[in-house]
Amino acid sequence: MSALQEATGALPGRVTTRSRQMVAESQAGIGRRVWSTMVANPKLSVGGAIIIVVSVLALLAPWITRHPPDVQNPVYRLATPSAEYWLGADSFGRDTFSRVVYAGRVSLSIGLLSMALTVVIGVLVGALAGYYGGWVDRVLTRVTEIVLVIPTFFLLILTVATFGRSIPLLILIIGLTSWPINARVVRAEILRLRKAEFVTASRVIGGTDPWIMARHLLPQLIPIVIASATIRVANNILIESGLSYLGLGVQPPTATWGNMITDGAGFMRQAWWLVGIPGAAIFIVVLAFNIFGEGLRDFLDPRSKAGAR
């Protein structure tokens, strides 16, 4: 009788069936634990629910909107919310609901992609500085401090005004100016972990520096990196919205929440929803990412919860 048969107590012909049942039960148990954890953590559940709803709306935009976002219909200029135009129409007769949903695609894409670039650069710089120390740490720390003290928003305005406005450029600029905080957090964790016994043991058995960082150190950073990255998305969406509001972000006719506020600012008295709805979208999504990031940090890194107490 095989070890699997002895462990499960199954007959030879029933080993596969019994094993599948055990795997299914284990997966169901994990699913129940994850669900119970999310229910017990209001930040995680509420923030995650809002993010999922907004993401689904953005992905399904072509199928849930009645009008294309850029089609103008002067007959419905500044129309109030109705069965035809659920959230009214703007000064050009464009469907506000359609534009808000499609703008969510743009804002979320910029926020997520620039966050990915921020995480890659921040983790790389922080890990190298913290692990090697010495002159590598001094050089990378000085570079991080220089980037950190530069007024990011004004640098973004200068760069966009000089090189033009496009979504890829916005992603690149936001990503290249937002990594220092991630780098400092990662460096502090690597400095704490590099003297741990498991790192010393890995060196003794011949582990190389890349192997130690990839196999032992970087996995320890996953909780704080994920939590920090989630909150970073919210900050990046705010930056994009601010630039678009000033006319230096994504340009019309492409809709973003920021330029929708700019377009509707002159019609606040006649059509408050032109500013109120995209403003509420920014507020809700940014708040959702922030509270979800805090809940995720508490879930993945119990030390943060203990420290808060």
Instruction: Kindly report, residue by residue over 220-267, the tens digit of the pLDDT.
Output: 888 888 888 888 899 999 988 888 888 888 887 888 999 899 888 888
Which residues are CB-contacts of 145 (< 8 A; sequence separation ≥ 6)? 180
Q: What is the pLDDT of residue 96?
A: 92
Burial class (CB in 10 A: 0-12, 13-18, 19+), 67: buried
Confidence check: pLDDT of 155 > 50: yes
| Residue closest to 173 by CA, chosen among 183, 158, 184, 191 | 158
CB atoms within 10 A of CB 266: 12
Asked whether residue 142 carries a pLDDT value surpassing 60, the answer given is yes
Percent of the chain with pLDDT over 70: 84
Instruction: Please check the confidence at residue 87 and state whether its pLDDT lies above 50.
Output: yes
The predicted structure's pLDDT at residue 34: 56
307 or 88: which leads in pLDDT: 88
Residue 125: per-residue pLDDT: 93
| DSSP bridge partners of 95 | 89
Q: 151 falls in which pLDDT band (50, 70, 90)?
A: confident
C-alpha 246/C-alpha 160 separation (Å) is 11
Report how many helices (DSSP H) and strands (DSSP E) the chain contains, helices first: 15, 0
Q: Specify the range with the lowest mean pLDDT, choosing from 87-101, 132-146, 211-225.
A: 211-225
Inform me whether the pLDDT recorded for 7 exceeds 60: no
Distance CA 300, CA 304 (A): 9
φ, ψ for residue 95, nearest 5 deg: -70, 120
Chain mean pLDDT for the chain: 81
Please tell me the distance from the alpha carbon of residue 224 to that of residue 186, in angstroms, as a whole number: 8
In the structure encoding, which two tokens stand for residue 9, read together? 């107590």
Residues 220 and 189: their CA atoms lie apart, in Å, by 9
CA 22, distance to chain mean position in Å, is: 35
**pLDDT given at position 51:** 93
Please, what sign has the CA dihedral across residues 154, 160, 161, 162?
A: positive
What separation in angstroms does the CA of 108 have from each of 87, 279, 286? 21, 15, 10
Q: 3-class DSSP state for residue 6?
A: helix
Nearest to 289 by CA among 62, 54, 71: 54
The pLDDT tens digits of the residues spanning 265-292 come to 888 888 898 999 999 999 999 999 999 9
Query: Other C-beta atoms within 10 Å of 237: how many?
Result: 27
Contact assessment for residue 307 and residue 55, using Cβ atoms and an 8 Å cutoff? no
Burial class (CB in 10 A: 0-12, 13-18, 19+), 149: exposed
Look at residue 194 in the predicted model and tell me its pLDDT.
Answer: 82
Predicted TM-score (pTM) of the model is 0.79
Shortest CA distance to 202 belongs to which of 136, 135, 131? 131
Average pLDDT of span 53-65? 92
Q: Span 65-94, mean pLDDT?
A: 88
